[in-house]
């Protein structure tokens, strides 16, 4: 039995889960938020109970101190040496990593080198890693890369039609993201299909960030995010793929720099930009159905447009991947929107139904559950599933496997 900590460090947050492996039992979980702001928040969940501490948390070192202190104070571990290893999520692994990796100086150097491809993520991940490594000397660490699962794509799918030396010299190519989630969900789907020798699965990871992948026989052959997580489908605050010529046009018209327009692409677009309401699909849904009676007619109209546009864009990728896979055995929805927004699932599948003969069971679609489930009806030629994602358990599994802690 091993105790493995899975960590996901962001620029101002640190999410964690402590597992008992190989049972995959969650001992505790939590998040430290608003690191570096005037008032921070530390939340720990254990045995159905939640503990919240609010105080200034100036940096990740303080966040780690609070986490490790809580483990001891709450009796979760008697001593920190009980933690056998720590696994960390890393967004960008570039072309270097097709699997998770045991951390050493070379791995760290490559993650640092790739920071320019994921400036909001890789540096924050390394800050979290270093803070934990300092407090837990002697404990081994594993990096799990969001891009690793997509390294099975072939060149005709990951190359851009730009001068070839941009790829060879500057590493400009499609990398994808959310790979840990896509891998977990596709494995769950294949298991639900009865573990056939051959399978064709389309995974729809729809959260505030969103991406789709085409998975053939358990391997990714294509994915919607590209050189950065901005590409692909419309998201909460991100526009997804748009005509590249819009950038210089807006720079001239609005007298803004490319970086300023890129900020708008990343933070003020998508659901937020089209609806004028919010980047959160729940707020858009509330305005669409006017549940609180506060949405104006214009807000409701734009909420409807937002929902229809979102569904149309996602359904286009499903159609594209259906063709690439030569058919499809299952479409799986996951992540915050995919798992919870029944109305968006219905709109997306409705857009696909005529071409793909895929149909939902409305009652099953409207059930809220944390379990894996099929939501298509008996007439559907493709199974439609909702699979709650679990990136943290994938990090723990890879940590155990690479450090041979299951021996």
Residues noted as catalytic: 146
CA 163 to chain centre: 30
Contacts of 74 (CB under 8 A, 6+ apart): 28, 44, 46, 51
Cα–Cα distances in angstroms (integers) from residue 196 to residues 189, 190, 218, 318, in the given order? 11, 7, 10, 21
Compute the half-sphere exposure of residue 336: CA atoms within 13 Å on the CB side of its CA.
Answer: 10
What's phi and psi for 86, nearest 5 deg?
-130, 130
Classify 280 as helix, strand or coil: coil
Helix axis angle, 342-356 to 297-325, nearest 10° = 50
What would the DSSP string read from start to end of 62-88?
HHHHHHHHHHHHTTS-SSGGG--EEEE
Rounded CA gap, 25 and 3, in Å? 10
Name the residue with tokens 């609806």.
275
């Amino acid at each position: 039995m091993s105790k493995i900590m899975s960590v996901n460090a962001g620029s101002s947050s640190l999410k964690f889960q402590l597992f008992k492996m190989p049972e995959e039992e969650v001992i505790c979980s939590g998040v430290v938020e608003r690191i570096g702001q005037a008032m921070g928040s530390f939340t720990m969940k254990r045995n159905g109970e939640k503990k919240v501490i609010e105080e200034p948390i100036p940096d990740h070192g303080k966040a780690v101190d609070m986490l490790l202190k809580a483990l001891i104070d709450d009796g979760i571990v008697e001593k920190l040496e009980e933690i056998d290893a720590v696994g960390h999520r890393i967004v960008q692994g570039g072309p270097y990593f097709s699997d998770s990796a045991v951390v050493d100086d070379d791995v760290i150097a490559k993650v640092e080198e790739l920071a320019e491809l994921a400036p909001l993520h890789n540096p924050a991940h390394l800050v979290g890693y270093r803070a934990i490594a300092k407090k837990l000397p002697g404990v081994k660490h594993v990096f799990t890369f969001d891009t690793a699962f997509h390294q099975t794509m072939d060149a005709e799918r990951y190359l851009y039609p730009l001068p070839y030396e941009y790829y060879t010299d500057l590493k400009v190519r499609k990398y994808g993201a959310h790979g840990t989630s896509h891998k977990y969900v596709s494995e769950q789907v294949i298991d639900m299909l009865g573990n056939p020798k051959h399978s064709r699965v389309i995974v729809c990871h729809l959260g505030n960030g969103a991406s789709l992948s085409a998975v053939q026989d358990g391997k990714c052959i294509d994915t919607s995010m590209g050189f950065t997580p901005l590409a692909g489908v419309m998201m909460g605050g991100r526009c997804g793929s748009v005509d590249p010529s819009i950038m210089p046009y807006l720079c001239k018209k609005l007298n803004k720099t490319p970086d300023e327009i890129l900020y708008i692409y990343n933070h003020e677009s998508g659901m937020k930009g089209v609806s004028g309401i919010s980047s959160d699909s729940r707020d858009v849904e509330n305005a669409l159905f006017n549940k609180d009676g506060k949405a104006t007619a214009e807000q409701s109209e734009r909420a409807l447009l937002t929902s229809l546009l979102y569904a149309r864009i996602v359904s286009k990728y499903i159609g594209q991947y259906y063709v690439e896979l030569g058919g499809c055995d299952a479409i799986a929805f996951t992540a915050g929107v995919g798992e919870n927004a029944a109305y968006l699932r219905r709109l997306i599948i409705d857009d696909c139904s005529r071409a793909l003969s895929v149909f939902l069971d409305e009652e099953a679609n409207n059930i809220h559950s944390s379990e894996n489930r099929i939501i298509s009806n008996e007439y559907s030629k493709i199974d439609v599933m909702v699979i709650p994602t679990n990136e943290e358990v994938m990090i723990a599994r890879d940590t155990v496997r690479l450090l041979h802690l299951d021996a």
